[in-house]
């Protein structure tokens, strides 16, 4: 196995330092309150060195989104791979919400950026993440035999994902308030999934026509 050259190792270390610093600054001040100069200074690199890797703040935000997605996909995948039947989905969802809550703390900068622009808006760093997550959970349900209308299913999955993201983005950071909110969030998502995503049962007004 070929070892990375020292220059490559230094470059990777610089990128990680920049991203770690940006994650912290974006979490505290948002995109509008953070400049590339501030990120470079806090990371201990020159502005020129930062621009070698990232042409602007948006590129840094995209890199944070990519890093979040890579970690999230690995952790969620470990749970999803263990689901073999639709009736196992509720317990998996509770575990996934708990994992997502931990990721929201570790990737607070990404979460802050993802709340500044809706995921369906141009330039939103959350767009690619949301699309990948919807595809993943849609594939899970289809693979488990879900047969409801594809458009309804995808809309429901998107709603559930956005509910989790928005709640975690505004969730208290102190205990016990945080744990209470996360527990209630998990139960809300599970109840919705059991009634709508797994059975396709329509809302009452759709049944009565009112």
**Topology (CATH) of 1-55:** Arc Repressor Mutant, subunit A (1.10.10)
Residues 138-155 have a mean pLDDT of: 93
Does position 63 have pLDDT exceeding 90, yes or no? yes
Domain spanning 64-203, CATH class: mainly alpha
Closest CA to 164 of 202, 133, 194: 133
What percentage of the chain has pLDDT greater than the value 90?
82
Q: How far apart are CA 85 and CA 87, in angstroms?
A: 5
Query: Residue holding tokens 């141009």?
Result: 122
Closest CA to 21 of 109, 152, 98: 109
Give the model confidence (pLDDT) of 81-114 as tens digits.
Answer: 999 999 999 999 999 999 999 999 999 999 999 9
Q: Is the pTM of this model over 0.75?
A: yes
User: Where, residue-wise, is CATH 1.10.10.60 in the chain?
Assistant: 1-55
User: Where, residue-wise, is CATH 1.10.357 in the chain?
Assistant: 64-203
Q: Count CB-CB contacts under 10 A for residue 6.
A: 8
Band of residue 7 on the pLDDT scale cut at 50, 70, 90: low
SS3 of 3-44: the string is: CCCHHHHHHHHHHHHHHHHHHHHHHHHCCCCCCHHHHHHHHC
Band of residue 196 on the pLDDT scale cut at 50, 70, 90: confident
């Amino acid at each position: 196995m070929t070892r990375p050259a020292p220059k490559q190792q230094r470059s990777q270390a610089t990128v990680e330092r920049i991203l770690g610093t940006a994650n912290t600054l974006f979490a505290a001040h948002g995109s509008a309150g953070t400049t590339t100069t501030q990120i470079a200074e806090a990371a201990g690199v020159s502005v020129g060195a930062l621009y070698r890797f990232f042409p602007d703040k948006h590129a840094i935000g995209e890199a944070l989104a990519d890093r979040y997605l890579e970690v999230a996909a690995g952790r969620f995948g470990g749970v999803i791979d263990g689901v073999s039947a639709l009736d196992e989905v509720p317990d998996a969802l509770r575990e996934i919400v708990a994992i997502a809550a931990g990721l929201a703390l570790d990737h607070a900068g990404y979460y802050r950026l993802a709340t500044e622009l809706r995921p369906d808006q141009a330039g939103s760093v959350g767009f690619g993440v949301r699309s990948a997550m919807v595809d993943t959970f849609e594939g899970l349900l289809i693979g488990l035999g879900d047969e409801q209308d594809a458009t309804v299913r995808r809309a429901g999955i998107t709603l559930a994902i956005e509910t989790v993201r928005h709640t975690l983005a505004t969730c208290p950071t102190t205990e016990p308030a945080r744990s209470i909110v996360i527990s209630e969030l998990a139960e809300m998502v599970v109840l919705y999934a059991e009634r709508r995503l797994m059975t396709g049962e329509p809302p009452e007004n759709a049944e009565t026509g009112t």
